[in-house]
């Protein structure tokens, strides 16, 4: 249809009145069909020009965000139509490409419940006006989606806590047994001598103090691992965080004769992630990799887009691990180190679940290990990627 209209425009001088009326009638029918489609979807859709003047808004917009009640919004400034200043501010940031760390979700009180909407802004070139841009504002109700995710996280946290509790019960057996034995020995020593000097009791008391300290450490680590994380997801470029982590660890890696290699794609979409938690997860993996390469080696951090997710791989050339160890590596309190707590990778696993992602491991004894972090691409970024792919395909055609 688009090519037909372009051909008709190029030959407009050769068309008579009836032909032009037929073409305009066909276009009007197509526009009506498009409006019917936009009216049928659950999302709110607002189309504007480069000055944010409304060209079209479907009726669902009023159900999702505060708007002036009018029969039509066409020709009005968006700031006069949309009544929420926070959404207007976000849209303005999107138009000027300054929304990197802004949250695109907004909540409103609707009766006794709270409704949360996600706002996404897409820009496209308007070929009808040279150099002009138009914008599509998508408003989606994510209330139920967020509630389902919260329920899923609570279920996973409960299952994780059950596993952790079993691990704690196992861990505290040994210190409690040692304490019980030395209390009995201390009781027997009292029975033999009826009184003890501090020197006589010191060997028993030192063991009791050591085991009490060990129990305290187990409880502290347990609380850290099971306590709900204060996760604050923000839309931003993951590559920036990866670069900061690499710059931070590179001096220490050099001291341990570990060569760091960066391999980041230049076309990664923005992700919703907590920068602090992701840095913690990466640092845990890098520390494990460094410990696996005591004689030096190579550490590679790679980031690639794979379908609807971004994969971040942390690969080392260290000692690796066998299949049996790989199957237990994310279990609480499992460690191959003499002084390890066995909670480092458990925390990494929990962080990835907080990001609605995943983590896997591939390794071979004597050849190295690769941990892969999977981050889901937000819906808004997937739509942007689809539009970019379509534009590139049209350009190539």
pLDDT digits (tens, 9 = 90+) for 133-148: 789 999 999 988 888 8
**What's the pLDDT at 175?**
85
358-364, strands of its sheet edge to edge: 258-264, 297-306, 309-316, 368-376, 358-364
Is a pLDDT exceeding 80 seen at residue 64?
Answer: yes
- Confidence at 267, pLDDT banded by 50, 70, 90: confident
Question: What does each C-alpha distance from 123 to 100, 234, 270 come to in angstroms?
Answer: 16, 21, 16
Residues 246 and 301 sit within 8 Å (Cβ to Cβ): yes
The stretch 39-64 carries a mean pLDDT of: 88
Is a pLDDT exceeding 60 seen at residue 55?
Answer: yes
Question: What does each C-alpha distance from 268 to 89, 100, 240, 308, 312 come to in angstroms?
Answer: 25, 14, 11, 11, 11
**What's the pLDDT at 244?**
95
**What's the pLDDT at 256?**
92
Average pLDDT, the chain: 82
Lowest pLDDT segment from 8-12, 132-136, 254-258:
8-12
Is a pLDDT exceeding 90 seen at residue 295?
Answer: no
Is a pLDDT exceeding 50 seen at residue 97?
Answer: yes
Question: What does each C-alpha distance from 135 to 53, 182, 193 come to in angstroms?
Answer: 10, 75, 90
- Confidence at 393, pLDDT banded by 50, 70, 90: very low
Task: List, in order, residues 6 or more apart from 273 with CB less than 8 Å away.
Answer: 233, 234, 236, 238, 241, 355, 375
Compute the C-alpha angle 271/274/276, nearest 5°. Answer: 135
Lowest pLDDT segment from 14-18, 39-43, 122-126, 378-382:
14-18
**What's the pLDDT at 395?**
45
Going from the N-terminus, what domains does the chain have, and what CATH number goes with each?
Answer: 2-146 (3.30.450.20), 148-226 (1.10.287), 235-382 (3.30.565.10)
Is a pLDDT exceeding 50 seen at residue 120?
Answer: yes
The stretch 167-175 carries a mean pLDDT of: 76
């Amino acid at each position: 249809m688009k090519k037909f209209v372009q051909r008709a425009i190029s030959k407009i001088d050769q068309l008579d009145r009836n032909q032009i009326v037929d073409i305009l009638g066909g276009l009007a029918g197509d526009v009506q069909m498009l409006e019917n489609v936009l009216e049928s979807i659950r999302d709110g859709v607002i189309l504007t020009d480069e000055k944010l003047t409304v060209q079209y808004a479907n009726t669902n917009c009023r159900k999702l965000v505060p708007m002036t009640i009018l029969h039509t919004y066409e020709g009005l400034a968006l700031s006069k139509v949309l009544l929420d200043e926070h959404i207007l501010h976000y849209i303005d940031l999107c138009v000027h490409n300054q929304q990197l760390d802004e949250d695109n979700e907004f909540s409103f009180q609707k009766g006794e419940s709270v409704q949360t909407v996600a706002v996404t802004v897409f820009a496209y070139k308007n070929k009808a006006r040279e150099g002009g841009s138009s914008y599509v504002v998508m408003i989606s109700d994510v209330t139920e989606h967020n509630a389902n995710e919260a329920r899923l996280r609570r279920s996973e946290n409960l299952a994780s806590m059950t596993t952790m509790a079993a691990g704690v019960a196992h861990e505290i057996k040994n210190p409690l047994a040692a304490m019980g034995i030395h209390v009995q020995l201390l009781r027997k020593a009292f029975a033999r001598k009826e009184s003890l000097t501090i020197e006589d009791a010191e060997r028993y008391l030192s063991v009791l103090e050591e085991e009490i300290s060990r129990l305290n450490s187990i409880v502290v680590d347990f609380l850290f691992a099971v306590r709900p994380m204060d996760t604050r997801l923000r839309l931003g470029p993951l590559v920036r965080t990866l670069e900061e982590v690499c710059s931070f660890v590179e001096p220490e890696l050099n001291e341990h004769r570990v060569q760091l290699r960066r391999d980041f794609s230049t076309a990664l979409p923005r992700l919703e992630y907590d920068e602090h938690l992701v840095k913690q997860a990466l640092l845990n993996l890098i520390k494990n990799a460094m410990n696996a390469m005591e004689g030096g080696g190579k550490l590679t951090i790679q980031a690639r887009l794979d379908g609807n997710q971004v994969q971040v791989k942390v690969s080392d050339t260290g000692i690796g691990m066998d299949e049996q160890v790989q199957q237990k590596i994310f279990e609480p309190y499992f460690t191959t180190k003499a002084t390890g707590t066995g909670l480092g990778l458990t925390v990494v696993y929990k962080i990835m679940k907080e990001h609605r992602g995943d983590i896997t491991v591939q390794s071979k004894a004597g050849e190295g290990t690769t941990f892969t972090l999977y981050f889901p691409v937000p819906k808004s970024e997937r739509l942007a990627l689809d539009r970019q792919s379509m534009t590139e395909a049209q350009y190539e055609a």
